[in-house]
Amino acid sequence: MQQIELHIDGRAVSRIVGDGSPGCLSGLLAAEREVFLVHDRNVAWVADAVVAALPAAVFRGRRALEATEGGKEMATVLDICRWLMDAGASRKALLVAIGGGITTDLAGFAASIYKRGIRYANVPTTLLAQVDAGIGGKTGVNFLDYKNMLGVIVQPVFTYICSGVLRTLPRRDVRSGVAELLKTFLIEDSDGNYARAVRLFSSPERDGDGEDRAWELQALVFAAAAVKAGVVGRDPYEHGERRRLNLGHTFAHAIEHNARLAGDDITHGEAVSMGIILAARLSDRLAHQGGNNWCSACSDRAGCPRAEGMEARLRADFAAAGLPVDCPYPLAALAGAMEKDKKAGGGKVRFQIPVAVGRVEEAELDVADVINMLGTP
């Protein structure tokens, strides 16, 4: 079984473990006395396997969710808390979230406020959740049609990664996860994992079918998990370095906001893909303008690693991997949501700018200026 420890202030606070079948969770839960499950209805079979592996005296109940963006709201969190209270969950209980990022966000948030906090663990069943949402302790819900506006950061006891569940994912769900996988390696890529991921998903069998492809995907998932664990451990509350993990997300959340208003069907991963391409275009525009004050590397005597052409490269890579690369909305339509972004302050927004594969820089920019730059040929 592979294991990555997430350390904060020199102390291991969470573990990322796997692989195997869902039934292997029994060893991780052996010392528990109260285990409650919250799961996406679409992965009830995973919950069944976990329940079958638990002693009857330990398992105290399960609750199925309709894990949709529309249901990612405080009312659902309060329903989970009400269910825990009705079931007699004490402060020693462990709440296990089984599903994608919506499920882990909802369950983690409920655990953080029920009786002022009980422990929780994640069993992410989507590629996106295994490389991003299920790791790092971010929980939350949407508010007034804005993405993840309410929430807290609290680390799960563990995140259990079972690569076998990925084989049941629809192609579109796999692609959503690929966007976050590539994002992670754009941020940190000491081992050439970005190119490996692009090659893996650019082949005709993009879903990772076959034993060799499954093993390669598993290796990439754990490599991405290690990157995120390292970043979170160094900056658990997003005061600095962790903000890099938001690459593409300021644009993505605005795209999702517009999609909800228009009734369009765009997944989070698809929005992240489009958002990263827009961030790459912004990188090109800034490089072309020579605005060196935003990039810390520009003060290095060895020169700045950035170069124009990031959009063209990432657009080709992402499209080859089966990801959408064009935002369906006018750029001006994104402005309002970006100005309300959680990272906004003082009239500016912190944008994460990809300057090279494996390097992201931050720039505080006015949203109107960004929209104007992106619209300039």
Q: What is the pLDDT of residues 244-291, one digit of tens each?
A: 999 999 999 999 999 999 999 999 999 999 999 999 999 999 988 865
Mean residue pLDDT across the chain: 91
268 catalytic? Reply is: yes
Output the pLDDT for position 208. 47
Q: What pTM did the predictor assign?
A: 0.90
Output the pLDDT for position 161. 93
253 catalytic? Reply is: yes
249 catalytic? Reply is: yes
% residues pLDDT > 70 (the chain): 92
Domain regions of the chain by residue span: 2-167, 170-377
pLDDT band at 294 (very low <50, low <70, confident <90, very high): low
- Reply yes or no on whether the pLDDT at 80 is more than 60: yes
**pLDDT tens profile 353-376:** 999 999 999 999 999 999 999 987
**pLDDT tens profile 105-114:** 999 999 999 9
CATH class of 2-167: alpha beta
Output the pLDDT for position 204. 65
73 catalytic? Reply is: no
Residue from 72, 228, 257, 306 carrying the catalytic annotation = 228
288 catalytic? Reply is: no
Task: For the beta carbon of residue 267, count every other beta carbon within 10 angstroms.
Answer: 20
**DSSP symbols for 184-205:** HHHH--TTSHHHHHHHHHHSS-
- Reply yes or no on whether the pLDDT at 142 is more than 60: yes
147 catalytic? Reply is: no
183 catalytic? Reply is: no
Residue from 142, 193, 246, 258 carrying the catalytic annotation = 246
Better-predicted residue by pLDDT, 323 or 162: 323
Q: Which CATH number fits domain 170-377: 3.40.50.2300, 1.20.1090.10, 3.40.50.10320, 3.30.450.20?
A: 1.20.1090.10
Q: What is the SS3 assignment for 316-361?
A: HHHHHCCCCCCCCCCHHHHHHHHHCCCCEECCEEEEEEEEECCEEE
Task: For the beta carbon of residue 212, count every other beta carbon within 10 angstroms.
Answer: 9
% residues pLDDT > 90 (the chain): 77
Better-predicted residue by pLDDT, 118 or 206: 118
Residue from 15, 147, 183, 249 carrying the catalytic annotation = 249
